[in-house]
Amino acid sequence: MPIATVNPATGELIEEFASLTKEQVNQRLTRAEAAAAMLRATDFDTRARWMRAAADLVEAEAAHTARRLTIEMGKPIAQARGEVLKCAHAMRFYADNAESLLADQPLADPSTVGASAAYTSYEPLGVVLAVMPWNYPMWQVIRFAAPALMAGNVGLLKHASNVPQSAMYLDTLFERAGFPVGSFQTLLIGAADVEAVLRDRRVAAATLTGSEPAGRSVAAVAGSEVKKVVLELGGSDPFIVLPSADVGAAARTAVTARTINNGQSCIAAKRFIVHTEVYDEFVEAFVAGTKALTVGDPLDEETEIGPIATESGWRELVDLVGDAVAKGALLRCGGSAVGTEGWFFEPAVLEEVTTEMRVYREEAFGPLAVVHRVDDVEQALKLANDTTFGLSSSVWTTDPDEERFLISRLAAGAVFVNGMTVSYPQLPFGGIKDSGIGRELAAEGIREFCNLKTVWKS
Ligand code: NAP
């Protein structure tokens, strides 16, 4: 796969990059190792000062950065700006809170272990390799980098091959803000070169956000090297609507939850599971809302849906719809190409989807929704959990018993009640089953790449 920026709205090749030679990768690893020693010796206040300076740069450069995101992967420009500003917010969150999140944890009664004092402390692991996807080219990286650097770790970024301009922007960001040379570097390499980097003795751990096969591959290498790994993989999140819910609000939110970021979000709601009593009302509003979306030039402020990021991703969506319709699904709207250039896909809603259809099990990475009808809350739960994924979920009800039941029984890393799934720096983020291992964000995220050191004093 070439390392290149190709505008998905036009198919035009904007810029191609050569991948690094082995020697260049080696130089960067040497720099990273040296930076890890330096960063470990700095205190929280110093790192926080640098992190705030980096957030200032991100904010000052937001307009340019947002335009770059839109041209590289097609998200609507207003959403690109939102992504960039969210990055600055997370950077400030970790600048402000890293020290307290990583404070020593004393044992309340050290006499129970025969000590005068006992506590645990968090220490950086060193160089962490981050393999990242293209769907949020800034946010996915920053939500790793901000906590990692604040903990005193060093980052090496292998970004997705279709967002190299974003990768190169991130390559210099932290150094420009004052962090030591080598604290955060981009490696312009292909997926096949990841294994050698991860096996290098100078790399302590890895995190991957992306597809399940990529995650399995990196986890296998990390496992054989006994190196810590965090995986944030795919999702096919359920969005359950029950009769006591505000159905209008649920349907409006459902449109956004399915189509934000051109539908290319791991935590997008993908399967809409609706009680029969409110099914028709929900589906009519959901289909109408989906049809009303403005599809077009992502640089236009009015656009709500831009192109799919890659031709292969676009083809995959068209094939998923074709397979479902051929096997009897009802296509309520969209599902075909829009225009003659670029990879635009008209947002689609499918009903009457059955287990033989690929879209029942596979993650639809684009604006393609599946709506299921259920008779009761137990059936809703069964269908919601009938997936190999377990990232997040959304539940619409005002009945406290139903709410309690679903919160405790949904097999997912998160449950959002009467709202759509959103990531916040304050809340842990991650999944179970094939959606991944470990957590990002909040206290859990910054602690993932720390050595939890136990200290016992006689
Ligand atoms: P992808 O193909 O897995 O690519 C993600 C990253 O992994 C890219 O940098 C890619 O490099 C690299 N990669 C691919 N195969 C690899 C391998 N065998 N070994 C090492 N690295 C490898 O995924 P994508 O198509 O970019 O992103 C879409 C997927 O990511 C969806 O499944 C989505 O749900 C998931 N995702 C999950 C989260 C989350 O937080 N849970 C967030 C966003 C996206 P190349 O580009 O060079 O191939």
pLDDT in tens, 64-115: 999 999 999 999 999 999 999 999 999 999 999 999 999 999 999 999 999 9
* Res 390: pLDDT: 98
CA dist 237 → 363, 384, 385, 406 (Å): 9, 8, 9, 14
Q: Is the CB of 266 under 6 A from ligand 1?
A: yes
CATH fold for the domain made of 3-233+435-457: Aldehyde Dehydrogenase; Chain A, domain 1 (3.40.605)
Q: Give the closest residue to 129 by CA, choosing from 19, 51, 52, 204.
A: 204
Q: What does the pLDDT average to over 428-438?
A: 98
* Res 6: pLDDT: 98
Q: How far is the CA of 159 from the centre of ligand 1 (A)?
A: 9
* Res 134: pLDDT: 98
pLDDT bucket at 340, cuts 50 / 70 / 90: confident
pLDDT bucket at 337, cuts 50 / 70 / 90: confident
The pair of structure tokens assigned to 110 is: 């050290």
CATH classification (class only), 237-424: alpha beta
Q: How far is the CA of 317 from the centre of ligand 1 (A)?
A: 17
Positive or negative, the CA dihedral 144, 145, 148, 150 is negative
Q: Is the CB of 133 under 6 A from ligand 1?
A: yes
Q: How far apart are CA 304 and CA 293, in angstroms?
A: 6
- pTM above the 0.85 mark? yes
Q: Is the CB of 134 under 6 A from ligand 1?
A: yes
pLDDT in tens, 344-393: 999 999 999 999 999 999 999 999 999 999 999 999 999 999 999 999 99
CATH 3.40.605.10 residue ranges for the chain: 3-233+435-457
Q: Residue 4, Cβ neighbours under 10 Å: how many?
A: 16
Q: Is the CB of 126 under 6 A from ligand 1?
A: no
pLDDT in tens, 196-242: 999 999 999 999 999 999 999 999 999 999 999 999 999 999 999 99
* Res 49: pLDDT: 98
CATH 3.40.309.10 residue ranges for the chain: 237-424
Q: How far is the CA of 243 from the centre of ligand 1 (A)?
A: 37
pLDDT in tens, 175-204: 999 999 999 999 999 999 999 999 999 999
pLDDT bucket at 117, cuts 50 / 70 / 90: very high
Q: Is the CB of 438 under 6 A from ligand 1?
A: no
**Enclosing H/E stretch for 70:** helix 62-73
313 CA: nearest ligand 1 atom: 25
409 pLDDT above the threshold of 90? yes
- Are the C-beta atoms of residues 142 and 91 closer than 8 Å to each other? yes
* Res 17: pLDDT: 98
pLDDT in tens, 290-303: 999 999 999 999 99
CA dist 65 → 174, 224, 249, 306, 446 (Å): 15, 38, 33, 17, 25
* Res 303: pLDDT: 98
The yes-or-no answer on residue 232 being catalytic is yes
What percent of the chain has pLDDT above 90? 99
What percent of the chain has pLDDT above 70? 100
* Res 338: pLDDT: 87
Among all chains, which residue has been given the structure tokens 């160089």? 127
Q: How far apart are CA 27 and CA 21, in angstroms?
A: 10
* Res 1: pLDDT: 85
